[in-house]
Structure 1
């Protein structure tokens, strides 16, 4: 059963304390022994696909059994530090096409970037795999790849990218993909209505820029809005409402400071740059994000859930008419780094923990059968 407590919420400078009523739940273990699991996707008819950062795609059968052998056909992945296999996402027409998408770090230590592949899953292996997108330029290092995906209702997808850590100034350069969100058609081509498609100095795939390291993306169909969150440096983790062509300021604007304690910038806001809906200072290191939209937990319906690595918890972002009015700490009793959070087709909330022996957990109402 979760514990009710107060948290500090930073929304346009407002500090408040969580007042939501407690919701009883129980936590069940679905799978164990996963090496730094990163992402989770639910298969129609039951079962789940789980990525491991080490470059493996695993199958949890409909009966909850973790298939011992990884799924063959995964691309060659650059693994090290934050680099590895990231998101697995089923195409909107997966039931017919069997297409899925994988984001991952590709290349070598000296020259790497974020890639996006599409393949067909035949139930046993990935076949007909093709690389749809490779972020440019290649860079050196093992940090800040982004990798989260979301599908939009117009048959496009958005992919969040990172700034490569040592290349943060490039997040303001529309001539590359560093520190951006890109929007693609489902076949990897560039949509004709992308905001920079007619700018010869910009990459046509760009959808927004000025991001540090995008780690969660959700499309809220009810409100027709795209939301993403990203890691700040030391403080300044952000939740943003994404608008086509908008600039979110990094590294010219931030609520965080450098890891040395030095200022990244003296500005927390500037004209022409979009301010976050919410920032976490000090950092919680937000990871996956889900919009809960089911009746299993009626009090949670319509709220956002953000997994947190450093804070070892999940934050429930309580919304009224689409606006965030409060937040609540959940699952901190587990004491585990949370990499992903998903709403399942059964109405449960699923958690993915980040460790060498990571787990997939299912959160159900305490009184459910």
Structure 2
């Protein structure tokens, strides 16, 4: 496990091969692999949260107030797509993560996570629907997962969606802030990594340990807002918010306990100690942690060819301080950190490698942007 505090700035992002969405250059940034140019592909997005590219090169973007948009290949935003479930858009809640079905080209199914309004409160839910050929509406919309129990809170919903190589869907869900001790209770969905089938049923190879809810993959998580599969191993890697310090990179495995709030490398916002310390038998250590916190959000592994020295680096967006961080990896180890785009002056909410091989970023602002990072020429 590595611990890193504030580290020097450097640049980033992903490689490209095919034509990309048009954009005007904004600014150049230094990096260990040469200068990077950041372009604005689209603007006018209200607190965008999740990004997914369609096979035709267009992009779907979720906006936290409850809208789903298409970014056309000319960079223009569509009107809001109809058929989206009702969301509770308060605090950290709203329309959140998005994923395409592995067979999207055949079935046109997409999956959305959102804070669902319910009697007595709300909770993170996942719905799937079929995007029509025109990209204007979702049909056959069904909620396939509801985090239980329902809690009256506007905090810590998670929530990223990642398909594994078996076709099962990982869902990251927070412990709702007011219920943090419940992250240690495997019978519920608070502060867990969830794994379900595309129809919401429980995979036969889930842990299914005594006292564990069938959907629960791992326990002891605080608020995971970054998740990606390692391109070589297929292992899930996550980026998890700590409190004051203690942001973590983990590789959640079936049936294991990742400690929150019993062990952590952070302290409470008041400065008070949380839990019992930084280690305890039966609880997993993070691969890497940040202190002070960077408030990590979306994450993506680099698999392009523009920067071969960055192969299998994990890129993580930061909401605090506005930067993109590159974690070099070797197997299941983090071997170093490079801080990029430190002068970008924006909260980076999501990071996705586009079909052209470049990195695409969402900025969490009222006038949020879709940005492209590429080598400067």
Normalised-by-shorter TM-score class: over 0.9
Q: Tell me the SS of whatever aligns to 1:333.
A: coil
Q: Tell me the SS of whatever aligns to 1:242.
A: coil
Output aligned runs, 1:66-81, within 5 Å: 66-67=77-78, 69-81=79-91
Residue 297 and residue 13 in structure 1: after superposition, are their counterparts in 2 closer, same or farther (change >3 A)? closer
Structure 2: runs of 5 or more not aligned: 11-30
The corresponding residue for 2:75 is 64
- Distance, in Å, in 1 between the alignment partners of 2:267 and 2:347 is 23
The corresponding residue for 1:8 is none
Residue among 128, 136, 140 paired with 2:140: 128
Residue 265 and residue 91 in structure 1: after superposition, are their counterparts in 2 closer, same or farther (change >3 A)? same
- Distance, in Å, in 1 between the alignment partners of 2:107 and 2:77 is 24
Whether the aligned pair in 1 keeps the contact of 2:6 and 2:292 (CA below 8 Å) is no
The corresponding residue for 1:203 is 213
Residue among 31, 38, 51 paired with 2:42: 31
- Distance, in Å, in 1 between the alignment partners of 2:46 and 2:366 is 5
Residue 195 and residue 23 in structure 1: after superposition, are their counterparts in 2 closer, same or farther (change >3 A)? same
The answer to which structure, 1 or 2, has the higher relative contact order (CA under 8 A, 6+ apart) is 2
- Distance, in Å, in 2 between the alignment partners of 1:79 and 1:108 is 13
- Distance, in Å, in 1 between the alignment partners of 2:309 and 2:207 is 38
Paired positions, count: 354
Residue 21 (structure 1) shift: 2.6
Residue 182 (str. 1) matches residue 194 (str. 2):
yes
The corresponding residue for 2:163 is 151
The corresponding residue for 1:54 is 65
The corresponding residue for 2:362 is 352
The corresponding residue for 1:320 is 330
Q: Tell me the SS of whatever aligns to 1:362.
A: strand
The corresponding residue for 1:257 is 267
Q: Deviations over 1:182-239 (max 9, x none)?
A: 100111110111102x52x221000000000011111114123111111001110010
Output aligned runs, 1:110-125, within 5 Å: 110-122=120-132, 123-125=135-137
TM-score by length of 2: 0.91
- Distance, in Å, in 1 between the alignment partners of 2:143 and 2:7 is 46
Output aligned runs, 1:225-304, within 5 Å: 225-304=235-314
Whether the aligned pair in 1 keeps the contact of 2:3 and 2:291 (CA below 8 Å) is no
- Distance, in Å, in 2 between the alignment partners of 1:116 and 1:13 is 34
Whether the aligned pair in 2 keeps the contact of 1:25 and 1:363 (CA below 8 Å) is yes
- Distance, in Å, in 2 between the alignment partners of 1:322 and 1:273 is 17
Q: Tell me the SS of whatever aligns to 2:343.
A: helix
Whether the aligned pair in 2 keeps the contact of 1:109 and 1:140 (CA below 8 Å) is no
Residue 203 and residue 321 in structure 1: after superposition, are their counterparts in 2 closer, same or farther (change >3 A)? closer
Whether the aligned pair in 1 keeps the contact of 2:3 and 2:290 (CA below 8 Å) is no
- Distance, in Å, in 2 between the alignment partners of 1:125 and 1:108 is 24
- Distance, in Å, in 2 between the alignment partners of 1:327 and 1:275 is 18
- Distance, in Å, in 1 between the alignment partners of 2:5 and 2:69 is 42
- Distance, in Å, in 1 between the alignment partners of 2:355 and 2:250 is 26
Residue 362 (str. 1) matches residue 367 (str. 2):
no
Whether the aligned pair in 2 keeps the contact of 1:17 and 1:326 (CA below 8 Å) is no
Whether the aligned pair in 1 keeps the contact of 2:327 and 2:337 (CA below 8 Å) is yes
Q: Tell me the SS of whatever aligns to 2:225.
A: strand
Q: Tell me the SS of whatever aligns to 1:332.
A: coil
Residue 205 and residue 211 in structure 1: after superposition, are their counterparts in 2 closer, same or farther (change >3 A)? same
Structure 1: runs of 5 or more not aligned: 1-10
- Distance, in Å, in 1 between the alignment partners of 2:3 and 2:350 is 27
Residue 25 (structure 1) shift: 1.3
The corresponding residue for 2:19 is none
Instruction: Please report the RMSD computed on the Cα atoms of aligned residues, expressed in angstroms.
Output: 1.7
The corresponding residue for 2:24 is none
Residue among 99, 107, 112 paired with 2:109: 99
